[in-house]
């Protein structure tokens, strides 16, 4: 039997239905306001410049990189040092000379500065050896006393004085180098036995490594 609803009951059902419809409509209204978005992006690729040095010397004439374990050879053969003067009037021994050239590698993109930063000497004779280092135009021609003038640029010692192998090394002055192997620096190294070297140094030897640091120039 179908229930009979009074007019008042029908109105309640309709009101409930309307109330549900309104509730659903209100609940969905935030979803009907769609907001469109998009994005933009940027990308960049960076490349580090190449920086390496090369050198050559009398005993290593080809241009090559010479790291700590493979230094360039200043002399073709082992050199001998002897005292100068007489027993009553000792003097420094005769000097020996060698050349050394340094440049940036052909693929190095920046200019640089070269300086002498360390001298490592091993052997008893090291305590009795004086030296000087001077800059000149890069050349494979032999060095001589003529390169050590009063107005030359000295990396060690001076026109009137010598440095000691076991002494302190100053990183100044520096010598400029061009990029891509241009404008190489030439160096001359002079060594001699000190005037006060006693007889006890006869027959001794020393192995010496000069370390030059090349620093990228400011851009």
pTM for this structure? 0.76
Antiparallel, parallel or unpaired: β 84-85 and 90-91: antiparallel
- Contact yes or no for 113/217 (Cβ under 8 A): yes
> Could you tell me the residue ranges of all domains in the chain?
53-70+92-216
List, in sequence order, every residue forming a beta bridge with 184; answer none if it has no partner.
Answer: none
Task: Give the tens place of pLDDT for each residue, 68-127.
Answer: 889 999 886 677 898 888 888 888 999 999 999 999 999 999 999 999 999 999 999 999
Helices H / strands E in the chain, number of each: 1, 12
Contacting residues for 117 by C-beta, under 8 A, at least 6 apart:
169, 171, 211, 212, 213
- Contact yes or no for 136/186 (Cβ under 8 A): yes
Task: Give the tens place of pLDDT for each residue, 66-85.
Answer: 988 899 998 866 778 988 88
């Amino acid at each position: 039997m179908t229930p009979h609803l009074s007019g008042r009951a029908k109105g309640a059902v309709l009101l409930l239905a309307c109330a549900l419809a309104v509730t659903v409509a209100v609940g969905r209204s935030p979803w009907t306001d769609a907001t469109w978005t998009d994005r933009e992006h940027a990308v960049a690729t960076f490349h580090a410049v190449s920086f390496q040095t090369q050198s050559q010397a009398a005993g290593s004439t080809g241009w090559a990189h010479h790291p700590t374990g493979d230094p360039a050879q200043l002399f073709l053969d082992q050199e001998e040092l002897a005292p100068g003067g007489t027993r009553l009037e000792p003097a420094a021994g005769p000097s020996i000379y060698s050349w050394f050239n340094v440049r940036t590698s052909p693929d190095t993109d920046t200019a640089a500065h070269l300086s002498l930063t360390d001298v490592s000497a091993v052997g008893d004779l090291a305590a009795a050896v004086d030296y000087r280092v001077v800059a000149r135009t890069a050349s494979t021609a032999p060095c001589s006393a003529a390169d050590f003038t009063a107005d030359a640029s000295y990396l060690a010692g001076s026109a009137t004085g010598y440095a000691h192998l076991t002494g302190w090394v100053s990183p100044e002055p520096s010598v400029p180098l061009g990029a891509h192997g241009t404008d190489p620096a030439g160096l001359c190294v002079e060594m001699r036995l000190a005037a006060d070297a006693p007889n006890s140094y006869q027959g001794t030897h020393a192995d010496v490594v000069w370390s030059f640091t090349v620093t990228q120039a400011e851009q």
